[in-house]
Amino acid sequence: MATKTMHIIQKILEHLDDSMDDEIVDISPFKHDALGISYPRWCRIIGMMMDEGLIDGFLNVGTLGTSFDQYKAMEPKLL
């Protein structure tokens, strides 16, 4: 896995860990634009993290005409 992808995964995991005491997880720090990556890359990373059992709480809202699954944060959390 590329270093850039691993760095993004680490940022997402750290933010979710830091948010464990919060009532509601603020997702703005790990939205694609805040991380400086494209939306397709963000969706693919979220999908990989869910497939690996690292995170949960994202809803697959795939849209017709795209080549990647899209996700919406519902209640993001670490697993």
Cα separation, 53 vs 36, in Å, equals 24
- The 10s digit of each residue's pLDDT in 9-65 is 999 999 999 999 999 999 999 999 999 999 999 999 999 999 999 999 999 997 778
Full-model pTM: 0.91
> Which region holds residue 19: left if phi is over 0, alpha if psi is between -120 and 50, else beta?
alpha
Contact, 35 vs 11, CB < 8 A?
yes
The sign one gets for the Cα dihedral 11, 41, 3, 47 is: positive
For residue 34, the model assigns a pLDDT of 96
One-letter amino acid for residue 72 of the chain: K
What domains are there in the chain, each with its CATH number? 3-78 (1.10.10)
